[in-house]
């Protein structure tokens, strides 16, 4: 990795960066998934009997080639039979939920991976038909069907199939348009491919097209990022997710193929992030949460204005449901009572399901304290503020009394201008937004009371 240089980056001082840019959870859940443990007879799915709406997630782990930056649970293969057989197991797993969620409308469906569009069109139809037999799927107005797609392999015919099946949101993994960067991560994808798919998806009536971009990749620099952003802006996606590349080669084997010397330094990465926010902001995109952007009319932007932004394992989202059922290897589900996660490895998952067993291997049972902190962290991450009166209504004692330790942890952030408070709210400042994970972490009971082997990604 490159040497850090002493500088002031976009108004963030070296002191702030050294104090707050280190490893910290991303809070796609609370408690964080590294805390999950064997359930030993505990059944957090029992609360499914009380729900009135459901999110459904299906994990399709297959990809045709390995991207070196990848941190997803995926299987690189050219044997299509693996995917077809996996689908049988997913549909078998889905049967387990038949009675538990009978008559509950699915308000949000997401296919993630891996590469969900690895599935053939006929298997995509088979998946949706199988799910429809078990879950209350009613695609159409007000229901969000989204899918992650790899622009290198997505066919126009598949777009037709997806629309026909009710998908209305498409997320394209763009990452970066620069050929040198693409070579260094083993993911060559031309701007023409992305352009063709974007135009075709719009013609077919996809309501929202989202691009995933990454900064901090090997060989990236400020000018290559600007060129990528200019191409992105030509195509005007409705949403952009701009993720920070977290280089964790001890955790993700694929990342060992990346030449560490080519990765921009933390200072350069911060400069890229700040420049990207400015670039996208000038082009009219709204900055949501800590890493999402949306055009002003997009539902995600509207949800943010209405204080309805949510955060889940896919990042920022809208359309909250009472529970999430995740199907497939490593998928996580949650209900009011807690979380449960499937076996991670494809072989273990298919073996368990094939033997008629549950694929659930670990999870977490929530208590009232967890639920309170889950809500507090969600408010900070999604709304960038915390209404202390609402907290007091829930706990029945003064905020300062209940959260005295947390306020002590927050004090340096007050002193550094990352947050401020009035009589009603704790508010994250523009500068504090970069470090909102640190602000949320002050309320993470387990981070401060229990050891973990987890290696969190850096904040910046
Ligand atoms: S980045 Fe996406 S396409 Fe590439 S290996 Fe990972 S999951 Fe597969």
Contact by Cβ (8 Å): 176, 170: no
What pLDDT was estimated at residue 21? Answer: 83
- Tell me, in angstroms, the distance from the centre of ligand 1 to residue 153's CA: 12
- Annotation: binding site for S-adenosyl-L-methionine: 57, 69-71, 113-115, 148, 175, 187, 212, 246, 332
| Domain regions of the chain by residue span | 28-323, 367-451
How far, in Å, is the centroid of ligand 1 from the Cα of 24?
24
SS3 label, residue 441:
helix
Residue numbers of the chain with a pLDDT score lower than 70: 1-11
Fold match, 28-323 / 367-451: no
Which residue lies with its CA nearest to atom 4 of ligand 1?
Answer: 67
pLDDT of the residue at 15: 83
Give the integer Cα–Cα distance in Å for 29 and 26: 8
Cβ atoms of 239 and 298 within 8 Å: the answer is: yes
Q: What CATH number is given for 28-323 in this structure?
A: 3.80.30.20
The predicted structure's pLDDT at residue 11: 63
- Atom 1 (ligand 1) nearest CA: 70
Q: Measuring from each residue's beta carbon to the nearest atom of ligand 1, which residues come in under 6 Å?
A: 63, 66-67, 70, 72, 74, 113-115, 150, 173
Mutate which of 65, 74, 255, 329 for ligand 1 pocket (most atoms within 8 A of beta carbon): 74
* Residue of 65, 66, 67, 73 to mutate, ligand 1, most atoms within 8 A of C-beta: 67
Within 10 A of 312 (CB to CB), how many other CB atoms are there? 19
d(CA 94, CA 96): 5
pLDDT score recorded for residue 10 = 54
Distance of CA 105 to the CA centre of its chain: 23
Strand 144-149 to strand 136-137: parallel, antiparallel, or no bridges (unpaired)?
unpaired
What spacing in Å lies between the alpha carbon of 418 and ligand 1's midpoint?
35
CATH code reported for the domain at 367-451: 1.10.10.920
Query: For residue 43, what pLDDT is reported?
Result: 94
| pLDDT for 3 | 39
């Amino acid at each position: 990795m490159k040497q850090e240089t002493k500088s002031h980056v976009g108004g963030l001082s070296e002191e702030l960066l050294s104090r707050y840019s280190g490893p910290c959870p991303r809070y796609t859940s609370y408690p964080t998934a590294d805390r999950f443990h064997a359930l030993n007879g505990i059944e957090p799915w029992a609360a499914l009997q009380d729900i009135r709406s459901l999110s459904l997630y299906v994990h399709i782990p297959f990809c045709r080639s390995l991207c070196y930056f990848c941190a997803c649970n995926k299987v690189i293969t050219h044997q299509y039979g693996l995917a077809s057989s996996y689908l049988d197991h997913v549909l078998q797993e889905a049967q387990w939920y038949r009675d538990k969620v009978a008559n509950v409308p699915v308000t949000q469906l997401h296919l993630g991976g891996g590469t969900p569009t690895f599935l053939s069109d006929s298997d995509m139809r088979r998946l949706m038909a199988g799910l429809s037999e078990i879950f209350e799927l009613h695609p159409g107005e007000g229901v969000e069907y989204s899918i992650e797609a790899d622009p290198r392999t997505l066919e126009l015919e598949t777009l037709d199939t997806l629309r026909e099946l009710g998908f209305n949101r498409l997320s394209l993994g763009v990452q970066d348009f620069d050929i040198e960067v693409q070579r260094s991560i083993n993911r060559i994808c031309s701007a023409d491919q992305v352009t063709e798919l974007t135009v075709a998806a719009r013609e077919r009536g996809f309501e929202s097209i989202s691009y995933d971009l990454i900064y901090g990749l090997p060989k990236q620099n400020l000018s290559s990022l600007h060129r990528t952003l200019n191409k992105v802006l030509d195509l005007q996606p409705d949403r952009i997710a701009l993720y920070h590349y977290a280089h964790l080669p001890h955790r993700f084997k694929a990342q060992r193929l990346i030449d560490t010397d080519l990765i921009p330094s933390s200072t350069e990465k911060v400069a890229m992030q700040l420049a990207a926010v400015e670039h996208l902001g000038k082009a009219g995109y709204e900055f949501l949460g800590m890493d999402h952007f949306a055009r002003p009319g997009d539902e995600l932007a509207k949800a943010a204005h209405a204080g309805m932004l949510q955060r889940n394992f896919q990042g920022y989202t809208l359309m909250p449901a009472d529970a999430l059922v995740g199907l497939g290897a490593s998928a996580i589900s949650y209900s009011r009572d807690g979380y449960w996660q499937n076996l991670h490895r494809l072989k273990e998952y298919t073996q368990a399901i094939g033997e008629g067993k549950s694929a659930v291997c670990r999870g977490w049972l929530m208590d009232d304290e967890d639920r309170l902190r889950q809500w507090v962290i969600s408010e900070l991450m999604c709304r960038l503020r915390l209404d202390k009166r609402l907290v007091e209504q829930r706990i029945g004692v003064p905020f300062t009394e209940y959260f005295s330790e947390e306020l002590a942890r927050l004090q340096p952030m007050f002193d550094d201008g990352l947050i401020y408070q009035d009589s009603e709210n704790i508010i994250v400042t523009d500068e504090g937004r970069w470090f909102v994970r640190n602000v949320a972490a002050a309320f993470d009971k387990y981070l401060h009371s229990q050891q973990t082997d987890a290696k969190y990604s850096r904040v910046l």
